[in-house]
Amino acid sequence: MASIVGSIRSLLVPIRREGWPFIAVLLFLAAFLGWFWLPLAAIFLILAGWCTYFFRDPDRVTPTDPALAVSPADGRVAAVTLVVAPPELGLGEQTRRRISIFMSVFNCHVNRAPVAGRVARIVYAPGEFFNAELDKASEANERNSLVIETPTGPVAVVQIAGLVARRIVCFTREGADLLMGERFGLIRFGSRLDVYLPMSAEVLVRVGQTAIAGETPLARFAAPAAEPAPRAV
């Protein structure tokens, strides 16, 4: 019996607690409306099933190579560009590599840390709700930014609200230590994440590629310069 229960649990994907209120309301409406008109109840049952699927939180196998940065979100690589990071990140005026991941309403929306390090800064910025695929969404849309200190320098990951997304959730805090691939937040109902990397990082993905949060390598950091060997005297 124990083995059967274990097998069933292994097949069930955990659901984020943030999703249960939505699921409960939809199930209640389906049950209530079922007394009056079954087709309408069926619509709400379908919506409850979709909401359950949306808030899924599967385990992921994160690479152990500390020289990698992994995708913070499930979705499609929407852009790989060279830009100056938004001023609220405090990263200066130097050009950085930005990799953008667009999440549709069918992607898992749990966000994961692209690198391991200490959360040096969390900045929330109010804004608009343009289509998250537009380039201007990086600075015009509502967003929540994390700056993570790493041995190779600061890396920023920005949660950006989209046309449908209206709620950004962040689980972590300033001063916290994050592991690569660790959950740090989610965005409800479709949006985008930007990762800002140093110019020395080697990009490993291409536009249009599918990325998996916590698993897909986005970039590889350059190895630190070796210290010169001491001279014999």
Q: Kindly list the catalytic residues.
A: 191
What is the amino acid identity at position 165?
A: A
Reduced to 3 states (helix: H, G, I; strand: E, B; else coil), residue 40 is helix
Strand segments (E) across the chain: 68-70, 75-84, 95-103, 110-112, 117-125, 143-150, 153-161, 168-170, 177-178, 183-187, 191-197, 202-203, 210-211, 217-220
Q: Which residues of 135-161 are buried (b: 16+ CB within 10 A; e: fewer)?
A: eebbbebbbbbbbbebebebbbbbbbb
Q: Which of 1, 43, 53 is nearest to 23 (CA)?
A: 53
Q: Which of 96, 88, 122, 109 is nearest to 195 (CA)?
A: 96
List 142's β-bridge partners, or say none.
none
